[in-house]
Chains A and B, each alone.
Chain A
Amino acid sequence: QQQVKQSPQSLIVQKGGISIINCAYENTAFDYFPWYQQFPGKGPALLIAIRPDVSEKKEGRFTISFNKSAKQFSLHIMDSQPGDSATYFCAASMAGNQFYFGTGTSLTVIP
């Protein structure tokens, strides 16, 4: 079964707007939650990651919000740019083992 559920499947945002992608998980043993960005024909690249002991992490225009009690986490992209257009994957892992990936969100930022 899908260990990590991601939504929406696709997202269109105006340039300068905020892009929000959500993920939910069931396994409370997960202790590491990264977000990956993937451009067509390329491998996923680590964007930002969070551990469950903090509720928010910000790096530049990218912020992860983490709700441990709800078992949800989300990626916010502030001031979205056309260059942010890509597919975004959330993931979860425990103890440095395999990642469980969400199904991906295709983001399009229109000028």
Chain B
Amino acid sequence: NAGVMQNPRHLVRRRGQEARLRCSPMKGHSHVYWYRQLPEEGLKFMVYLQKENIIDESGMPKERFSAEFPKEGPSILRIQQVVRGDSAAYFCASSPLAGNRETQYFGPGTRLLVL
């Protein structure tokens, strides 16, 4: 039973480029959460999605950031026109549709470096 998968694991972008981060939740999980972790800091919530719906995007920057979780395929976190301050580790987590929904299982993260 594969865990949460994220790719790429490392991503280097130049300022102004776009970054696309992918997250495939665990089998049977339909809730996806994205978090950002800056060096020496805890994880900060960005967005919570269910299939085809954004449930809570209160942690997302108002500009340049977007997220989706289509009916088919992985969840995508998209950062347009990246800036150096976007350099961080981005983690997604998933939880099941029913049952113990509080338990979130994290992926290995994507480490974004903006040059």
Q: Which residues of A contact B (CB under 8 A)?
A: 6, 32, 34, 36, 41-46, 49, 89, 93, 96-104
Would B42 and A89 count as touching, CB distance under 8 A? yes
Would B105 and A46 count as touching, CB distance under 8 A? yes
Would B108 and A42 count as touching, CB distance under 8 A? yes
Contact of B91 among A43, A100, A103 (CB under 8 A): A43
Would A93 and B102 count as touching, CB distance under 8 A? yes
Would A43 and B106 count as touching, CB distance under 8 A? yes
Asked whether B70 is an interface residue with its Cβ less than 8 Å from the other chain, the reply is no
By a CB distance below 8 angstroms, the chain A residues around B75 are: none
Closest 9 CB pairs of A and B: A43-B106, A101-B42, A98-B45, A96-B101, A32-B102, A103-B42, A101-B43, A43-B108, A44-B106
Would A98 and B103 count as touching, CB distance under 8 A? no
A43/B42 contact (C-beta < 8 A), A34-B103, A98-B33 known = no
Q: Which residues of B contact A (CB under 8 A)?
A: 4, 6, 31, 33, 35, 40-45, 48, 55-56, 58-59, 91, 93, 95, 101-109
Would B41 and A103 count as touching, CB distance under 8 A? yes
> Nearest-CB distance from A87 to chain B (Å)?
9
By a CB distance below 8 angstroms, the chain B residues around A93 are: 102
A98/B56 contact (C-beta < 8 A), A34-B103, A44-B91, A93-B102 known = yes
Would B95 and A101 count as touching, CB distance under 8 A? no
Taken together as a complex, chains A and B put the C-alpha atoms of A101 and B37 apart, in Å, by 10
